Chains A and B, each alone.
Chain A
Amino acid sequence: MPIIRVEHLSKKFGTVTAIDDVSIEVEEGTIFGFLGPNGAGKSTTINILCTLLSPTSGRAMIAGYDCIKDSSMVRKAIGIVFQDPTLDKELTAYENMMLHAYLYNVKRSEIKSRINDALKFVDLYERRKDVVKKFSGGMKRRLEVARGLIHRPRILFLDEPTLGLDPQSRANLWDFITDLPKKHNVTVFMTTHYMDEAEVCDRISIIDSGSIIATGTPDELKKTVGGDVIYIKTADNKKAKSEIEKIFDVDVSEKNDELFLTTLKGDSCIPEIIKAIGEQVLSVRLQRPTLNDVFIKMTGKQIRDEEISSTDTFKDEMRAYRRRFDRG
């Protein structure tokens, strides 16, 4: 039985339809990616699954509980890392963890060891007594992931987990997100707009304008935009072209002094080509379709970074505003 089951979910805000007839199934112990441009309905869907919003119609079940009727059972089963930080910056890393441990009713005798284990897992144990204000973006995000795991949830929601992080922090974060299902026995439901990062997902759904337009494994989705392209440079392109065409029964074209051909199985095709005409080959490269290509084909547009981070500067201004008030 899938651990997350969303059936024909719709949500209207007044006359605006945020999501329309969305259905999703996520199997236990997998990483599920929910992709789509800003305003497509990702956050609305997550908010319904997290019991913060009720849908206009349809049903959402998590770990066998109904998100509307059994919201407190659902809340116990899930951990969430929201897109905007929800840490208390005036408190230390340890205190932030403690706040959540108590809210989730973790046994008092276990709180300390669980917090310390979680902090070690995200490599923040040495900094546990520092106030969060002093943390970098990557450290804050890691702390939030640790906090989301403190009550041992069965499902962890990650809304744009790597937004605003530098490449190194992103790589670090991905390393332990991919470890989560095995090490912590949780199912991961995440949204991202970095298409290359969605490669780690076991399954992906793409949402646009409130409707799901494609679902499948990353490989399945990539196949829908055509296959891999193999580029070959040889000493004698004409001779190689006719030989490859004869042996493999495919069309080979030539561009910029390079031969190229399209195939569904690029990785296994290359050794065969080398075997056949190996001594003539100077270089080979393989270009696979990316999820970005899938996205462009499905939606006719590209996800742009600047669309998504626009709220950050607004929040920064507000923070400055708030500080002035606090001192007044």
Chain B
Amino acid sequence: MIEANAVYVLVLRELIKFFRAKSRLVTTLARPVIWLFLIGGGMSRLVSPGMGVDYMQFIFPGILGMTILFSSIFSAISIIWDKEFGLMKGILVAPVSRFSIVIGKALSGTIVSTIQAFIILLLFPFLGIKLSLLSILYVIFICLLLSFAISTLGIVIATFYESFESFSVIMNFIVMPMFFLSGAMYPVNKLPAILKVISQINPLTYGVDALKHAMLKGSDLIDFSVATDIAVLIACSVAFTIIAGVIFERKK
């Protein structure tokens, strides 16, 4: 059972905190901008993806994916802070189902991540990318879907950790490889065989690929069909939500 009131208030809490900490917003937006202009700008002199696509244009969908990846994972693993500082205990003794807590947390991450991705998206005219209003709506839809999938994945990860000493483990062994093997910086089909397999089980790959459909129309740098991308993202969201809910429900 899912309690609407509980989901609503968990999302509200996150949004209040998000808009209250404006300096944090600036620092989280700085990361994708730095990658886009410093790495993208530098590499574009060296690499030419072909078919009239500039390297900065090529990595733009990946940069949106990165914004979502970091923001959603951070939002989800705030559960670990909540556990460490007792806030989670206060929530767990309330008469709400564990699924409501998972959904509430996942939607918080989804909304916050999509807002950030949308701010980065506004850079598209400066990169020579053309997007129709319909494409922009499509991109926002993909961002919502991808954010939800990554947030629920983050919650599953967070259920395994009790303290934030695990923070650097999650960053170095989960988040960074997920980013590099998502087709964000280089096309998946050009990767060595083993890395290609890993990319294909990475949900972020499908989100980035779906974004490429809007931004790199008609180029051969796209790996999957839109239908595959959306189906995988939905399947991941459902699976991670159920796994997280079940793990949360289990008592010691």
Contacts and interface: CB of A to CB of B under 8 A. Distances in A.
B5 to A, nearest CB: 5
Contact of B8 (A80, A102, A104): A102
Q: Across chains A and B, which 5 residue pairs bring their CB atoms closest together, nearest first?
A: A102-B9, A86-B90, A75-B95, A103-B94, A86-B86
Contact of B93 (A52, A87, A328): A52
A318 B84 contact: yes
Contact of B81 (A53, A84, A98, A322): A322
B21 interface: yes
A83 to B, nearest CB: 9
B34 interface: no
A91 B14 CA distance: 10
Interface string B1-29: 00101101100110011001101100100
A118 B95 CA distance: 20
B85 interface: yes
A100 B20 contact: no
Interface residues of B, number: 32
Given A105-B3, A318-B84, A325-B167, A50 B93 contact: yes
Interface in B56-102: 81, 84-87, 89-97
Contacts of B9: 98-99, 102-103
Nearest to B24: A326
Nearest to A322: B81
Given A88-B87, A102-B12, 15 more contacts: A52-B251, A72-B97, A85-B85, A85-B86, A86-B90, A88-B17, A95-B13, A102-B8, A103-B91, A103-B95, A104-B95, A105-B3, A318-B84, A327-B27, A328-B27
A117 to B, nearest CB: 19
Interface of A: 50-54, 72-73, 75-76, 78, 80, 82, 84-88, 90-91, 95, 98-100, 102-105, 315, 318-319, 321-322, 325-328
B17 A90 contact: yes
Nearest to A92: B16
B252 interface: yes
B24 A327 contact: yes
Contacts of B24: 326-327
A77 to B, nearest CB: 9
B86 A103 contact: no
Contact of B21 (A50, A73, A90, A105): A90
Contacts of A84: 85-86
Nearest to B88: A86
25 contacts: A51-B93, A52-B89, A75-B93, A76-B95, A82-B90, A84-B85, A85-B85, A86-B90, A87-B87, A90-B21, A91-B16, A98-B9, A99-B9, A99-B13, A100-B94, A102-B6, A102-B8, A102-B12, A103-B6, A105-B6, A318-B84, A318-B164, A322-B164, A325-B164, A326-B24
